[in-house]
Amino acid sequence: MSPKRMPIVALVGRPNVGKSTLFNRLIGERKALVHDKPGMTRDRHYGTAEHVGRPFVVIDTGGYEDTMETPLLSMMREQTLIAIDEADCVVLLTEEAVPNDPIDAEIVAKLRASGKPFFLAVNKADDSKREIQAITDFSVHGLDNVFPISAMHGTGVFELMDDVTANFDEFDESEADDGRIRVAIVGRQNAGKSTLVNRLLGENRMIASDLAGTTRDSIDTEVTVDGRDFLIIDTAGIRRRGKIERGAEKLSVHSAFGAIDRCDVALLLIDAREGVAAQDQHIAGHLVEAGKACVIVLNKWDIVQDRENYGEHIRKVRQEFGFLKWAPIITISAKTGQRAWKLWALINHCSEQFNRQFATSELNVILKKAVAHLSPPVTGPRELKMKYVAQTGSRPPRLTFFVNDPKMLHFSYERYLQNQFHAQLKLDGTPVRFSFKRKAEEKNWLHENRRNDRRRPGDDADTTPVLLGPDEDYEAEWYQEDEETT
């Protein structure tokens, strides 16, 4: 086990024995979906946990089934076996009420063959009588230690994790790279999100099926590409609110929106055959509200009938996403790999834009040009005065304008300023937050922040105006090349 990474613990077992409940208890948050219906977890699900100062990665898995009746059950079984192979040690979770299940015996045999250290935890042993019964009943597996626990109430979990983590190598958390770019893949059901994750990772990490709704949870996977660390978050498909079923699916949709809130860059996946639907616009609206960098990805491009009319497809998408003019658009096929490799460059670019910092002098040169090109509209006897602009935040960039009276600002002029700053700063892939304050508040801000900006007026500023008309919108561009599939 390398000291450069945290140890990995896999939770395996039959469906509905409490693996996700134990996973949530270990990581200290409700990240995995927990429901009475068996099979809620279908993929591998990762989280970070700690026990008495020893950090580790824990993997929640789908239920291991003996039957191979359906492709989905077969894939869930495969995901469990991959998790066992990936882990440093394994916790086999079973339940007190089923002591002699042949599936448990089969998993024990596979764990013994793997050579990995593993521990048997008997869940739902909620009192001392059940604990004694569990130890007696499960001794048939010939294991030295059987741990009766209650994942729901925490009983016995501390003692279990004491033994699980006892032989972990020392891990220096300061060596862990926390500079990852968090990428959420979002969209409607059956848009190809899990297929795209597998394409980006180069392995069948996620269960991909033609059946809509295969992914129920937000799945985190770490990957390094060209020396950059990424956290790829595959999310459940988001249906129209009126179509969302209560219970499991409602939890899935909540998890998908939560994934958007914690990402840096979102890949908004659209089925290119169907075009932009109202639900795609709803998801995009949530991305804008959350202030996330975004790439619009038209998937399944290889089976679009009239794909030679590329320009018309892009025009229609731009028209439907009028509030995402700054987001680049790319056409891909996650299934064949057509242009999918270009997404890494786009993700990197959008992340850089998302984190950009600007000199105050540069921003004010742009403001001066914009006001000279088109003055603020006059309403009544007073005129709006744009005195100063400064960057007051990032992720995404936030620009604060100091004016004589913010109430005099018309929404059309704010849109005009947004377009000018997007164009002159060459900002694409990320939104920009605008706020307007009275000029009296400027003095306090200048006093606190001027020492942080040592660049002279005009430094880094583009002296060539890229001014748009009052009715023009800045549009991000992304070029298409040939029909490459590798």
pLDDT in tens, 318-356: 999 988 889 999 999 999 999 999 999 999 999 999 999
Sequential DSSP letters for 368-388: HHHHHHSPPPPBTTB---EEE
* pLDDT number for residue 390: 92
Q: What is the 3-state secondary structure (H, E, C) of 141-177?
A: HCCCCEEECCCCCCCCHHHHHHHHCCCCCCCCHHHCC
In the structure, what pLDDT confidence band is assigned to residue 282 with cuts at 50, 70 and 90? confident
The C-alpha atoms of residue 413 and residue 371 are separated, in whole angstroms, by 10
Share of the chain above pLDDT 70, in %: 69
pLDDT at 307 over 50: yes
* pLDDT number for residue 440: 59
* pLDDT number for residue 49: 81
pLDDT at 458 over 60: no
* pLDDT number for residue 475: 76
pLDDT in tens, 365-402: 999 999 999 988 777 777 888 888 999 888 899 999 99
Residue from 2, 340, 46 nearest 180 by CA = 46
Please give the residue that has the higher pLDDT: either 143 or 308: 308
Whole-prediction pTM:
0.57
In the structure, what pLDDT confidence band is assigned to residue 2 with cuts at 50, 70 and 90? very low
Please give the residue that has the higher pLDDT: either 469 or 354: 354
> Hey, is 221 helix, strand or coil?
strand
Distances (CA, A) of 333 to 186, 202, 295: 16, 14, 15
Please give the residue that has the higher pLDDT: either 28 or 150: 150
* pLDDT number for residue 486: 37
Residue 48 backbone dihedrals phi, psi, to 5 degrees: -110, 130
* pLDDT number for residue 136: 64
Please give the residue that has the higher pLDDT: either 55 or 258: 55
Q: How many CB atoms lie within 10 A of CB 367?
A: 20
Provide CB contacts within 8 A for 312, sequence distance 6+.
Answer: none
In the structure, what pLDDT confidence band is assigned to residue 269 with cuts at 50, 70 and 90? very high
* pLDDT number for residue 469: 67
The C-alpha atoms of residue 355 and residue 102 are separated, in whole angstroms, by 54
Query: Please, what is the average pLDDT of the chain?
Result: 76
Q: What value does the mean pLDDT take over residues 231-239?
A: 68
Q: What value does the mean pLDDT take over residues 460-481?
A: 59
pLDDT in tens, 240-264: 444 434 333 334 444 456 677 778 9
* pLDDT number for residue 485: 40
In the structure, what pLDDT confidence band is assigned to residue 266 with cuts at 50, 70 and 90? very high
pLDDT in tens, 423-446: 899 888 999 988 888 865 555 555
Share of the chain above pLDDT 90, in %: 23
pLDDT in tens, 64-83: 776 555 555 666 777 788 77
Provide CB contacts within 8 A for 85, sequence distance 6+.
Answer: 114
Residue from 325, 220, 352, 196 nearest 272 by CA = 196
The β-bridge relationship of strands 228-234 and 219-225 is antiparallel
Q: What value does the mean pLDDT take over residues 134-151?
A: 73
pLDDT at 112 over 80: yes
Q: What value does the mean pLDDT take over residues 178-193?
A: 84
Please give the residue that has the higher pLDDT: either 50 or 205: 50
